[in-house]
Amino acid sequence: MESLNLISLRATSPTPRAAAGFSFQQSLNPIPKNSSISSLMPQAHKKNQSFLGQISFPAIKSQQFEVKDGSSTASETSVPEVDALKIKEWEVGMYQNEVAASQGIKIRRRPSSGPPQHYVGPFEFRLQNEGNTPRNILEEIVWNKDVEVTQMKEKKPYAVLKKLLDKAPPARDFIGALKAANARTGFPGLIAEVKKASPSRGVLRENFDPVQIAKAYEKGGAACLSVLTDAKYFQGGFENLELIRNSGVQCPLLCKEFVIDAWQIYYARVKGADAILLIAAVLPDLDLKYMTKICKLFGMTALVEVHDEREFDRVLAIEGIELIGINNRNLETFELDIANTKKLLEGERGQKIIEKGITVVGESGLFTPADIAYVQEAGVKAVLVGESLVKQDDPTAGIAQLFGKDISL
Ligand SMILES: O=C(O)c1ccccc1NCC(=O)[C@H](O)[C@H](O)COP(=O)(O)O
């Protein structure tokens, strides 16, 4: 039975929908042109489409991205907000969860039991139950991101970003930089992470100057940099990405975000990102395909992250993916095991990677030259390293220590 816990009681803000979060109408991902919603449904779910028949999809305020002859446009349609429409939005949100679940994705994109907040006069109550309580940290991050992106999109809609895109400097070749570093040093190309804190480790560096750290990494021989842009859980920000981009640092930059909406790719590009992280544990195949295409359109690289065999197989089946990260950290439990990289690259999967010419990045938990040698032996051509470098007083020296050699030369 559902437990009824009063977990918050506060005056409502002037914009209760935004304060409550989980407002779905602006957070629907754009649906590729010429796709009907039923064509996006897995077969197993097609029989269960009672609510779909009643939804007029064009009527939902949505932002649709169109790709035509290599050019991109975004359009917005508005309709009056009515209660019935809100109910439909919930149904669509739940449907997204269903599609994801059918692909083995355990992370729910948003709460499945309806809006968690209930308004009684000026007060707000939350009824806690399994459907509206995140099951793990990754799910919590994703649900919060949904609210955050909805609010950011209101401030900077596609039309605004499109104009800013034209002014952004061209994207740098992320994979090219990794390959060149690998060829030059004989070690995996290094993506060094500019990260102040993380949910699993807390604050990693009190005295955190993103530009100083980025310059130290570049000096130490990093091929590329990864910049955390999430503020709530990692104490990062898009301002860090922008500051580093404008500081004269030449390394291509990865926007380390929790992407749930194509709008975030536009925003990252405007802020100077050359690459962006797409997490297979969060994004269904259709999103991965679609977002990868948007990245290509912008000259950006998608780093598609997997943690287990199922995610790896899904991603290997998608055409056009050139960079795959194997995360040694389970983002639901925080468990770290660098043997995960080896396990996933053994046998047929490793063979497929070679045949398809995909570059693999070993991610997380790399602290010593032996760790680097271990994942290199497993088949990676690049590594993504955060904690062991960012904690060093001198991150330049930290890189030489990590590789057991000065790789800047
Ligand atoms: O690190 C976390 O606590 C975490 C929690 C939830 C989602 C993502 C998380 N980390 C992202 C990463 O995997 C790392 O930042 C990255 O791979 C570098 O790892 P490390 O070298 O171990 O800092």
3-state secondary structure 165-215: HHHCCCCCCHHHHHHHHHHHHCCCEEEEEECCEECCCEECCCCCCHHHHHH
Burial tier of 1 (Cβ tally within 10 Å: 0-12, 13-18, 19+): exposed
Mutation test residue for ligand 1: of 229, 306, 364, the one with most atoms within 8 Å of CB:
364
Q: Ligand 1: does its nearest atom lie under 6 Å from the Cβ of 387?
A: yes
| Catalytic residue from among 364, 381, 387, 388 | 364
Short-list 329, 269, 282, CA closest to 72: 269
The angle formed by the CA atoms of residues 299, 245 and 29, to the nearest 5 degrees, is: 50
DSSP state of 234: T
Is residue 255 within 8 A of residue 244, CB to CB? The reply is no
**Token digits for 140?**
């919590």
pTM here is 0.79
256 is catalytic: yes
Instruction: Provide ipTM, 2 decimals.
Output: 0.98
The tens-digit pLDDT sequence of the chain (409 residues) is 333 333 332 322 333 333 333 332 223 333 333 333 233 333 333 333 333 333 332 222 333 333 333 333 333 334 444 456 555 655 666 677 787 888 888 888 878 766 555 555 666 666 667 778 898 999 999 999 999 999 999 999 999 999 999 999 899 999 999 999 999 999 999 999 999 999 999 999 999 999 999 999 999 999 999 999 999 999 999 999 999 999 999 999 999 999 999 999 999 999 999 999 999 999 999 999 999 999 999 999 999 999 999 999 999 999 999 999 999 999 889 999 999 999 999 999 999 999 999 999 999 999 999 999 999 999 999 999 999 999 999 999 999 999 999 999 8
